[in-house]
Amino acid sequence: MTDGPASDGRAAHGPAASNPRLAPVIRLAPAKLNLTLAVLGRRPDAYHDLHSVMAPLDLADRLSVAPAAGPEDTLRVVRGATGPIADNLVLRAIAAARAAVGRNVDAVPLAARLEKHVPVAAGLAGGSSDAAAALDAALSAWGADVAYEAAALGELRTRIALSLGSDVPFFLAGGAALVTGRGEMVDPLPGLRGTPPGVLLVTPDVRVATPAVFAALDGEAAAAPTDARSTRASSEHLALEWRAGLGADALLVRAGIFASANDLANAADFLVPGLRALRRALVRRLGRPVGLSGSGPTLWVLYASTTEAAVAAAAVRAGLGDGTIVAPGTGEPSIIATAIAAAGARPARDPGQEVLT
């Protein structure tokens, strides 16, 4: 009698085979940009239903994992503070991956090194992207792609990703996507036609917790609501155009419409005094629409190229210097020129080369 496929989706040749990898694995964890973010309502499970067009950026953290010297997973973070190591999503992702694969692979302890470039608690989902990268890197290091059939491994990744956070599943898509539900429904979108737009990111030296922004949306900030129907219509229209073959130049033309299509903007303004004034100052200085990514406080501006975004970054720095632009927070804001990532491509540049602060 010949053996059929394992009932849990493992490959028929046997999951207990020796691990073929156990070599260092490197992944780039891109930031994401919410071009639109409609909040459709609060769910019975306390989450909110969303409708958001999201795109990954060339700006990325760099994660590497290798077999650990000791009996436990370890993490070293360089180029930035992310809070207590024990609470970091990288270690949580590795632990969740190990729990999911059980004894099906040789899930040895891993030593992770995370080089941070994406601002923390900024509406760019840096932590969620790190988690997705750690999940992918761990499964690759353990040879899960050999031990599992492709479909079963994909389902496994998605299930683990959602358990780690609502933004994590998006990063499994590998490109722009329409994200609905609380984040678990990810509908990939085709690549933009033409050269991907450059993006200027301005992140005040203030950390904003996403749960606090949603709580403000449901509470005090509800006194100044956004037009939810208009935001949803803008988001749906952008998704339809993108799916039909949107060009990068057309995206730039429409920036004035969807830069205001974020239902969390008023809540972020409520929690971060001075954020609205900063947005207005950037509009005056740059003469372009300024949007908010996610729950903020990162503000974004689109350009035809990264070079143009870098020129705009210099203008913002000049404005901060002469006092015509004032940013909330005790320190200088992060000012980064990057670009929307090309479809199916990993960030093309060194993740740190466009950081201008």
CA distance 354 to 93: 28
Residue among 58, 167, 263, 269 flagged as catalytic: 167
Q: Are 59 and 340 in contact (CB under 8 A)?
A: no
Answer whether the bond into residue 297 is a cis peptide, omega within 30°: yes
Residue 149: what pLDDT? Answer: 87
Known catalytic membership, residue 49: no
pLDDT > 90 fraction of the chain, expressed in percent and rounded:
75
Structural domains in the chain?
25-188 (3.30.230.10), 198-339 (3.30.70.890)
Query: pLDDT, tens digit, for every residue of 279-297?
Result: 999 999 999 999 999 999 9
Residue 268 predicted with pLDDT over 50: yes
Cβ-Cβ contacts under 8 Å for 263 (sequence gap 6 or more): 37, 38, 39, 217, 226, 228, 231
What is the per-residue pLDDT for 226?
A: 59
DSSP string, 11-67: -TT-TTSPPS--S-EEEEEEEEEES-BEEEEE-TTS-EEEEEEEEEEEEEEEEEEEE
Residue 180, pLDDT above cutoff 60: yes
- pLDDT, residue 222, reads 54
| Cβ atoms of residues 125 and 119 within 8 Å | no
pLDDT at 301: 98
Q: Is the pLDDT of residue 81 over 90?
A: no
pLDDT digits (tens, 9 = 90+) for 50-73: 999 999 999 999 999 999 999 999
Query: Among this protein's residues, is 116 annotated catalytic?
Result: no
Mean pLDDT across 40-48: 90
pLDDT at 6: 38
Residue with tokens 């040895």: 108
Q: Catalytic residue, from 32, 116, 136, 269: name it.
A: 32
Mean pLDDT of the chain: 88
Q: pLDDT at position 343, please?
A: 76
**Predicted pLDDT of residue 250:** 96
Contact 173, 158 (CB under 8 A): no
Measure the CA–CA gap between 25 and 68, rounded to whole angstroms: 13
- Name the band, by pLDDT with cuts 50, 70 and 90, for residue 22: low
The predicted-structure confidence for 94-146, as pLDDT tens digits, reads as follows 999 999 998 888 899 999 999 999 999 999 999 999 999 999 999 999 999 88
Residue pointed to by tokens 């353990």: 142
pTM of the predicted model over 0.75: yes
Backbone angles phi, psi at 264, to 5 degrees: -95, 0
pLDDT of residue 328: 97
216 membership: H or E segment, kind and range: helix 210-218
pLDDT at 225 over 60: no
Backbone angles phi, psi at 287, to 5 degrees: 65, 30
Q: Is residue 41 scored above 60 in pLDDT?
A: yes
Tens of pLDDT along 228-264? 789 999 999 999 999 999 999 999 999 999 999 999 9
> Average of pLDDT values for 299-323?
98
DSSP state of 264: T
Say yes or no to pLDDT of 147 above 80. Answer: yes
Amino acid found at 68: A
**Alpha-carbon separation of residue 357 from 57, 66, 117, 317 (angstroms):** 18, 31, 11, 9
**Chain mean position to CA 150:** 24
